[in-house]
Amino acid sequence: MTESTRGWLLLGTEGCHLCEQAEAMIDDLALWGIVARVDIAEQTQWQAEFATKIPVLFNPVTKNRLCWPFLAEQIQAEITRQTF
């Protein structure tokens, strides 16, 4: 699946311990089928807006976002609200 077909992006960067915590939540919720990892160091269009807010769960279609700190329950609620 490509980033565009998954709908949700987990914006982060290499070596970010908070990003690793967010990835663990996505793992625990088994949501990698609809969430794609994106390293913002490689995405200049999002660096200015998100560099100081990562990790961010972001839907580029709806523009909805969930900025750190967030809980697994908030991830599930946001994705469920926007996906179904």
Q: How far is 72 from 55, CA to CA, in rounded Å?
A: 13
Domains and CATH numbers, the chain: 13-83 (3.40.30.10)
Close Cβ partners of 74 (under 8 Å, ≥ 6 residues apart)? 66
Percent of the chain residues topping a pLDDT of 90:
75
> Model confidence over 41-76: pLDDT tens digits?
999 998 999 999 999 999 999 899 999 999 999 999
pLDDT at 3 over 90: no
Instruction: Count other C-beta atoms under 10 Å from residue 29's C-beta.
Output: 14
Q: In terms of Cα–Cα distance, which of 45, 41, 44, 49 is closest to 19? A: 41
pLDDT band of residue 7 (cuts 50, 70, 90) is confident
